[in-house]
Each structure stands twice: as structure tokens, then as C-alpha cells.
């Protein structure tokens, strides 16, 4: 499978990018959704994305199966002992920053466990204190399990954007008192959730359906790990891990959110009602980036699912389609480490590309979901990334994506690597969840 794109016209493409940008501004056709998507943007606003396949630069992807010494990796043992650690280290050094190494001084308290949702669920709330400081950062895991379960339940774990109470109108979910991104539509007032926030994001969380299909759902608020704004890492968990904060490969916010997913996993593997070998990490958008980095590092996650994770997530950086490395670093400097800033408009120098992040999930099942109108996240680039992770799966004797060409909208494909592109835009829809559960059925129950 070639790791180069086919285009030869694109040496001039970069120089024509500027004129494309100007045209896009004139016709107001580019980047509009993304530019208004996020209230925490801090960078310049003179960026317009490339949405023209013909203007994608020539690129050659780094080969996940060629180690830094130049040797080809042809067996699982060398992958595990040499190449996988190299790629993990590259992601720490060049993209997400260094992850603190344990053991960690976390502590856990089960706050409640009771029937909920008209009796179809058991709802638990579990507080996880993330450091030894009782006044330090903590999150609450909201866990719904099917009341009908006869044993430990396979469970999805996902971060949420607006607090646990936003996930379902269930009035007994603890309302977060922590800082949140402002959002009038979701009842966030002065950066705090209110009663109006309850269930505000429930369209993205079909809890009853997940339970009906025999799965559990665990979720926690990402801002409890690190609030999502650029403050020099003075809040959240970062101040407690000074050995990895500061310097070129400083631990980033995405790094911290991923780490938080692993701390949630530390609890889930101890809950007798959760199947510790069947916890699936899932995330949407920036939280999809975090889910991928968590799933790459922490092999306890049985299945890893990315939804519309885009730049810095599943999408290939070298395509520079939609959101680019330069743009994401400009607007969200805290998401990545300082070294990653070097690769804006300079993607070919990156020692990794995102197919390599995906390949770190191998041989565990990996699912990548895109939305056709979510051009900012480069749906085709997400597909290509999943496809180019395939050789690492094949090394393990696992099925790569079963197709070579980008499948049609609404046509999921499922090997050990799975993918779909659905109709519509940047969101998590029931369609996405149904496919995640189909994929889980195939691998956990097939």
C-alpha cells in the first residue's frame, strides 16, 4: 500500500494556497462552521481552510513499520519492544507532551449507586480525587449500567463537554460547579452549569438505547481534569506534575484529558459490575483526539473509538485539508506541546502522522467515524489514516479496513479496523452510536 499521495501537481499547490484562501474569503465558502464553533478561540482569524483535493500538498507518510534505525519491522515482538515504544515517545516529544508516570496518589469514593431511568438503569456516581491534595482536582464518573445485566457489563467510557448533568435529564445527576466554556444554548451562565444545563446535550448520549443493547456508559467532565483554556497550566492537574510541565515537550491539555481517562479506567476495572476486559474508550472532536491518545497509551482499553476527531486526532496532518497543524496550534496552543508548533506549514517534518497514532491501538479493535459535512475535520483524511494503520494490524494477523477506497456515505465497513462516514455535520448522532455498538457486538460478542 503506497504511503504517498498520487498528486504530482502540488509543488505549486502551496503557493496557490494563498490565492485559494483569498477566493474563499471572497465567496465566504470556507471555514465558516469551524470559525464560529468555539468560543475559546484565541488565535488570529485570518485563516481559511483548503477544501480542494487538488490543492493537497504532495506528501509521503512515515512508515509505522520502519523503525528509527531504518530496520523494517516484520514481527510482533519487534513491534512491541522497539517500534511501538518509539512511536509513543515521538507522540510525547512532538505532539502531546510527556505523560506523567505512576504510581498516582488517587483516591476513590462511591457517592451513590441506585436504580434510575424508570428502573432500566443502575446509576452510580464515583468521585475520583486525582492527587493526594484533598482540595485538588477531582472528577465524578457518572456510570449507567443496565439493570437487567446478569454479570459484568461491557462499558463505553467517554469524556463530556458540559458536565455529567448535560448528558441526560435525569434530575439526580450531580450538577457540576466547575468552570465551563460559555454556552447560552446549554444554560451555561458565567461559565457555570445551571439547572437549564440538565439534559442539554442528551441528543449525543442515547443512554436508554445503550442500556437496551446491553452496554454500560461511563462519562466524566473533561474540564475537571484540566479546564479548556490557555492559562499556562496553572489550574487542573498540571500544577501537581511539575516534572512534566514546562519545556518543549510539556504535558498538554489533550495529554491531561487522556491521562484522566486512564484514571477513570483505574476505577472501572475495580467495579464488579463493569467487565474490566471490555471497556471501550470513545470521544468526539477534541475529546476524540484525547480518546485516541488514551487508547494508544493504555492497552487496558479493549476498543478505541474516534468520532469526528479531525486534526491532531484521526485526520492525516500532511493533507492540510480543513483545520491544519498551524491553525490548531494558533487557536488552541494548550492542546499540544510547544514542539508541535514547529510543524505548522511544515507538516512534512513531523516524524509521525496520525495513522501512526491509530496504529498504536493494534491489535485491539479501532473504529473511526466521520461526517461528510464536517470538512473542517477532513473526513477523507480520517479514512486514509485508518487505512494506513492497516499494515500494523496485518502484522498481528488482524483485519485492516476491508476497503481500499473511501466508502460511500452511510456504508460502514468493519474489520478489526472499522470506519464510517455518515450524512450530516460535526456531531454525535444516534447513527454513530448504533455503529459503535454494532462494532462492539462484532468484536465482543461475535
Residues annotated as catalytic are 285, 426
Extract the C-alpha cell encoding 238: 498540571
Q: Is 224 in the site for ligand GTR (CB under 6 A)?
A: no
Instruction: Compare residues 249 and 306 and give the one whose CB is closer to ligand GTR.
Output: 306
Give the span between the Cα atoms of 71 and 311, in whole angstroms. Answer: 29
Extract the C-alpha cell encoding 158: 467517554
In the chain, the largest separation of any two C-alpha atoms, in whole Å, equals: 63
- Find the part of the chain contacting ligand GTR (CB under 6 A) among 33-41, 91-99, 167-175, 397-405: 33-41
Give the span between the Cα atoms of 386 and 412, in whole angstroms. Answer: 13
Q: Is 176 in the site for ligand GTR (CB under 6 A)?
A: no
Binding mask 56-95 for ligand GTR (x = CB under 6 A): ----------------------------------------
Please, what is the minimum distance in Å from the beta carbon of residue 430 to ligand GTR?
Answer: 19
Instruction: Compare residues 62 and 425 and give the one whose CB is closer to ligand GTR.
Output: 425
Please, what is the minimum distance in Å from the beta carbon of residue 444 to ligand GTR?
Answer: 28
Q: Which of 170, 226, 323, 378 contacts ligand GTR by CB under 6 A?
A: 323
Q: Residues in contact with ligand GTR, total (CB under 6 A)?
A: 9
Q: Which of 24, 30, 34, 217 contacts ligand GTR by CB under 6 A?
A: 34
Q: Which of 254, 311, 369, 437 contacts ligand GTR by CB under 6 A?
A: 311
Q: Is 31 in the site for ligand GTR (CB under 6 A)?
A: no
Instruction: Compare residues 254 and 440 and give the one whose CB is closer to ligand GTR.
Output: 254
Could you tell me if 62 and 317 are in contact, meaning their C-beta atoms sit under 8 angstroms apart?
Answer: no
Instruction: Compare residues 128 and 180 and give the one whose CB is closer to ligand GTR.
Output: 180
Nearest alpha carbon to residue 127 among 114, 110, 112, 113: 110
Please, what is the minimum distance in Å from the beta carbon of residue 229 to ligand GTR?
Answer: 13
Instruction: Compare residues 37 and 72 and give the one whose CB is closer to ligand GTR.
Output: 37
Could you tell me if 322 and 310 are in contact, meaning their C-beta atoms sit under 8 angstroms apart?
Answer: yes
Q: Is 427 in the site for ligand GTR (CB under 6 A)?
A: no
Q: Is 38 in the site for ligand GTR (CB under 6 A)?
A: yes
C-alpha pair distances (Å), 419 with each of 145, 288, 355: 26, 14, 13
Please, what is the minimum distance in Å from the beta carbon of residue 262 to ligand GTR?
Answer: 20
Residue 128: exposed, middle, or buried by beta-carbon count in 10 A (0-12, 13-18, 19+)?
buried
226-229-231 Cα angle (round to 5): 90
Q: Is 373 in the site for ligand GTR (CB under 6 A)?
A: no
Residues 259-288 close enough to bind ligand GTR by CB under 6 A? 285-286
C-alpha pair distances (Å), 446 with each of 292, 364, 439: 24, 15, 10
- Find the part of the chain contacting ligand GTR (CB under 6 A) among 32-40, 70-78, 93-101, 145-153: 32-40
Q: Is 328 in the site for ligand GTR (CB under 6 A)?
A: yes
Instruction: Compare residues 146 and 310 and give the one whose CB is closer to ligand GTR.
Output: 310
Residues 399-418 close enough to bind ligand GTR by CB under 6 A? none
- Find the part of the chain contacting ligand GTR (CB under 6 A) among 34-42, 95-103, 216-224, 400-408: 34-42
Instruction: Compare residues 216 and 312 and give the one whose CB is closer to ligand GTR.
Output: 312
Q: Is 37 in the site for ligand GTR (CB under 6 A)?
A: yes
Give the span between the Cα atoms of 278 and 260, in whole angstroms. Answer: 18
| Cβ neighbours around 270 below 10 Å, total | 11
Instruction: Compare residues 230 and 266 and give the one whose CB is closer to ligand GTR.
Output: 230
Q: Is 310 in the site for ligand GTR (CB under 6 A)?
A: yes
C-alpha pair distances (Å), 50 with each of 17, 20, 55, 319: 7, 7, 7, 10
The residues that touch ligand GTR, with contacts defined as CB under 6 A, are 34, 37-38, 285-286, 310-311, 323, 328
Amino acid at each position: 500500500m503506497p504511503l504517498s499521495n498520487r498528486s504530482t501537481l502540488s509543488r505549486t499547490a502551496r503557493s496557490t494556497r494563498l490565492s485559494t484562501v483569498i477566493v474563499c474569503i471572497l465567496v465566504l465558502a470556507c471555514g465558516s462552521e469551524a470559525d464560529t464553533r468555539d468560543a475559546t478561540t484565541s488565535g488570529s482569524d485570518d485563516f481559511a481552510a483548503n477544501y480542494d483535493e487538488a490543492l493537497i500538498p504532495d506528501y509521503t507518510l512515515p512508515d509505522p513499520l520502519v523503525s528509527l534505525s531504518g530496520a523494517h519491522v516484520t514481527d510482533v515482538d519487534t513491534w512491541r519492544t522497539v517500534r511501538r515504544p518509539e512511536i509513543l515517545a515521538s507522540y510525547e516529544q512532538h505532539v502531546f507532551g510527556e505523560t506523567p508516570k505512576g504510581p498516582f496518589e488517587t483516591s476513590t469514593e462511591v457517592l451513590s449507586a441506585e436504580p434510575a431511568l424508570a428502573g432500566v438503569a443502575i446509576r452510580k456516581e464515583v468521585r475520583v480525587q486525582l492527587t493526594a491534595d484533598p482540595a485538588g482536582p477531582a472528577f465524578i464518573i457518572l456510570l449507567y449500567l443496565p439493570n437487567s445485566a446478569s454479570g459484568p457489563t461491557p462499558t463505553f467510557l467517554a469524556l463530556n463537554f458540559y458536565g455529567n448533568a448535560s448528558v441526560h435529564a435525569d434530575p439526580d445527576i450531580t450538577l457540576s460547579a466547575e468552570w465551563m466554556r460559555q454556552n447560552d444554548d446549554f444554560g451555561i451562565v458565567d461559565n457555570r452549569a445551571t439547572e437549564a444545563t440538565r439534559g442539554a446535550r442528551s441528543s449525543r448520549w442515547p443512554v436508554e438505547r445503550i442500556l437496551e443493547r446491553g452496554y454500560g456508559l461511563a462519562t466524566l467532565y473533561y474540564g475537571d481534569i484540566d479546564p479548556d483554556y490557555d492559562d499556562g497550566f496553572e489550574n487542573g492537574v498540571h500544577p501537581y506534575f511539575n516534572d512534566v510541565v514546562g519545556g518543549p515537550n510539556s504535558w498538554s491539555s489533550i495529554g491531561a484529558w487522556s491521562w484522566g481517562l486512564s484514571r477513570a479506567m483505574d476505577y472501572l476495572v475495580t467495579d464488579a459490575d463493569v467487565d474490566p476486559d471490555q471497556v471501550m474508550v470513545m470521544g468526539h472532536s477534541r475529546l476524540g483526539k484525547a480518546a485516541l491518545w488514551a487508547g494508544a497509551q493504555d492497552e487496558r482499553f479493549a476498543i478505541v473509538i474516534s468520532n469526528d476527531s479531525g486534526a491532531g486526532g484521526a485526520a492525516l496532518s500532511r493533507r492540510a485539508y480543513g483545520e491544519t497543524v498551524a491553525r490548531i496550534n494558533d487557536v488552541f496552543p494548550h492542546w499540544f506541546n510547544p514542539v508541535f508548533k514547529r510543524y505548522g506549514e511544515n507538516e512534512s517534518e513531523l516524524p509521525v502522522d496520525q495513522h501512526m497514532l491509530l496504529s498504536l491501538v493494534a491489535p485491539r479493535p479501532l473504529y473511526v467515524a466521520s461526517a461528510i459535512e464536517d470538512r473542517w475535520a477532513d473526513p477523507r483524511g480520517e479514512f486514509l489514516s485508518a487505512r494506513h494503520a492497516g499494515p500494523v494490524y496485518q502484522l498481528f494477523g488482524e483485519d485492516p479496513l476491508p476497503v481500499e477506497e473511501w466508502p460511500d456515505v452511510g456504508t460502514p465497513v468493519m474489520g478489526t479496523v472499522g470506519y464510517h462516514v455518515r450524512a450530516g455535520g460535526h456531531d454525535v448522532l444516534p447513527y454513530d452510536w448504533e455503529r459503535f455498538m454494532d462494532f462492539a457486538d462484532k468484536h465482543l460478542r461475535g
